[in-house]
Copies of this chain bind each other. A is one copy, B any other.
């Protein structure tokens, strides 16, 4: 186990940047250990309550946290949309949090506004985990993405990682780029001009790792160890014809994989619409459903550490 500057017990997780590299490693080691717990009837978190405060729906993330908590013997309360909550009656988030902290030992929050999770953490006397707030941050997604790379590609250092699709608006791509910049990797950003990674993000990370930008997958696919695919949404385009053209040229097909390394790992935060041909699912490259499983393990680890049930 790595030596940590400070423990996890009672801490919030708002941004992936809150965690040092050695802290990331520690979470991953605990996640490895959780793989064995998941099979057993664990009572590690018996009597503990997690509150899921989802002010916007995200079934996948919500169920992943629930499964993680329940697999360790804990319990879950919460809501999964803003409709019907006190916020609708005009209550502010600080009050909501000061109420809910009396019902639960840990708060997981998803909110449409940037900064909401950090505000919640300031007011709550129990720890807060950000499950996505606004366009900015989704730290547990970045954690599980990193963990998937570590599990499927072996060590992270030395890898060439491609991010493809909508790199401008996709918050998972931002968080992952930041997280990867802690490691010794080469990053390849592959997107249409319109959806290039925001300049401030590129500037932040290119101090630490080599960053290359590409307009197409074809030129770079042969170099990649990992390809992280994100969805290109129609709403981003004024011209529907432009969207159709872009969409089809950024769709991962069996043909694209002909030039790929044998051990290329393909990932996707899901849900997928048609960014990846369904026939790719049957190749050994496809790891996006594995990724879901790793997400539960990482969240089991994180919750256990923050609740102080494990060190």
Q: State which of B47, B51, B67 has its C-beta within 8 Å of the C-beta of A71.
A: B47
Q: State which of B42, B66, B91, B103 has its C-beta within 8 Å of the C-beta of A103.
A: B66
Q: State which of B57, B89, B90, B98 has its C-beta within 8 Å of the C-beta of A84.
A: B57
- Copy number in the complex reads 3
Known: A47-B41, A81-B84. Contact between A63 and B271, CB under 8 A?
A: no
- Secondary structure of the A contact surface, majority rule: mixed
Chain B: which residue is nearest A45 at the CB level? B41
Within the complex, the shortest CB–CB distance from A111 to chain B, in Å, comes to 15
Interface stretch among A72-80, A126-134, A203-211?
Answer: A72-80
Chain B: which residue is nearest A273 at the CB level? B90
| Interchain CB contact under 8 A, B63 and A77 | yes
A77 to B49: give the CA distance in the assembly, Å: 15
Interface stretch among A5-13, A147-155, A289-297?
Answer: A289-297
A73 to B48: give the CA distance in the assembly, Å: 10
Asked if A263 is at the interface of the complex by the 8 Å CB criterion, the answer is no
Other A-B contacts than A49-B70, A63-B103, 9 sampled, CB-CB below 8 A, are A59-B86, A60-B86, A66-B77, A86-B271, A90-B271, A90-B273, A95-B271, A98-B292, A99-B289
What are 29 residue pairs bridging A and B, where the CB atoms are less than 8 Å apart in the complex? Answer: A40-B47, A41-B47, A47-B71, A59-B79, A60-B86, A60-B99, A63-B79, A63-B100, A66-B103, A67-B77, A67-B102, A67-B103, A70-B75, A70-B77, A79-B80, A80-B84, A89-B271, A91-B270, A91-B272, A95-B271, A96-B271, A98-B292, A99-B270, A99-B289, A102-B292, A102-B293, A102-B295, A102-B296, A103-B296
Residues of A within 8 A of B (CB): 40-42, 46-47, 49, 51, 57, 59-60, 63-64, 66-67, 70-71, 73, 75, 77-81, 83-86, 89-91, 95-96, 98-100, 102-104, 270-273, 289, 292-293, 295-296
